[in-house]
């Protein structure tokens, strides 16, 4: 896709966006999947083509379709949603790559702990009024203070997938 993204401010379309995760548990035998039902965000594309912005996820909105597990994932053992209600990804830069690629750098904050993250997203749709990005990346939950691992059941990385649609706001 060679469409240039228009400069200006962009608002995340929460109804058309998703942020989900998956993690292998029970010694890698079962994959737990969940999605955050409350996602907001905004950004700006500058005249030089670079971009900044923030995507915010309501930590308590995680839904794995298992109420007891969701309560545990929202607890202090994991997301600690009562103390840290938001998970944020603050984009510090986004630069177009060849084809549909976009190199995104920023800081991911979970449980009050911030770490740099660099990932490649794919521009799956772009027009004068809307932009859609899709990305998949892994997170080491222990780097964010989520070390709970009873009997070694939860090893490895958590995979985060995002499909984010932004609409251009009036100038």
- Whether residue 35 contacts residue 19, with contact meaning beta carbons closer than 8 Å, is answered with yes
Span 5-31, average pLDDT: 87
- Whether residue 61 contacts residue 85, with contact meaning beta carbons closer than 8 Å, is answered with no
C-alpha radius of gyration, the chain, whole number = 17
Instruction: List the CATH code of the domain at 8-168.
Output: 2.40.128.110
What pTM, to 2 d.p., does this model score? 0.88
Q: Report pLDDT for 26.
A: 59
Domain ranges of the chain: 8-168
47-79, pLDDT tens digit by residue? 887 889 999 999 999 999 999 989 988 999 889
Other CB atoms within 10 A of residue 113 CB: 12
- In order of 99, 106, 124, the CA distances from 102 in angstroms are 9, 13, 11
Q: Which residue has 């029970």 as its token pair?
A: 26
* Least confident among 11-20, 22-31, 83-92, 114-123: 22-31
141 Cβ neighbours under 8 A, 6+ residues apart: 23, 78, 147, 157, 158
In this predicted structure, the answer to whether residue 170 has a pLDDT above a threshold of 80 is no
Q: What is the DSSP letter of 149?
A: -
């Amino acid at each position: 896709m060679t469409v240039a993204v228009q400069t200006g401010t962009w608002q995340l379309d929460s109804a058309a966006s998703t942020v989900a995760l998956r993690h292998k548990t029970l010694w890698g035998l079962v994959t737990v999947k969940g999605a955050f039902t409350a996602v907001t965000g905004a950004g700006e594309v500058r005249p030089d083509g670079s971009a900044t912005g923030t995507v915010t996820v309501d930590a308590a909105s995680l839904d794995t379709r298992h109420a007891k597990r969701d309560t545990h994932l929202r607890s202090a053992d994991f997301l600690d949603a009562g103390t840290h209600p938001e998970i944020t990804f603050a984009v510090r830069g986004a630069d177009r790559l060849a084809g549909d690629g976009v190199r995104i750098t920023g800081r991911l904050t979970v449980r009050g702990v911030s770490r740099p993250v660099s990932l490649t997203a794919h521009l799956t749709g772009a027009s004068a009024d809307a932009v859609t990005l899709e990305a998949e990346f892994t997170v080491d939950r222990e780097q964010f203070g989520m070390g709970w691992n009873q009997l070694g059941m939860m090893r490895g990385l958590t995979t985060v997938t995002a499909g984010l649609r932004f609409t251009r706001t009036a100038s």
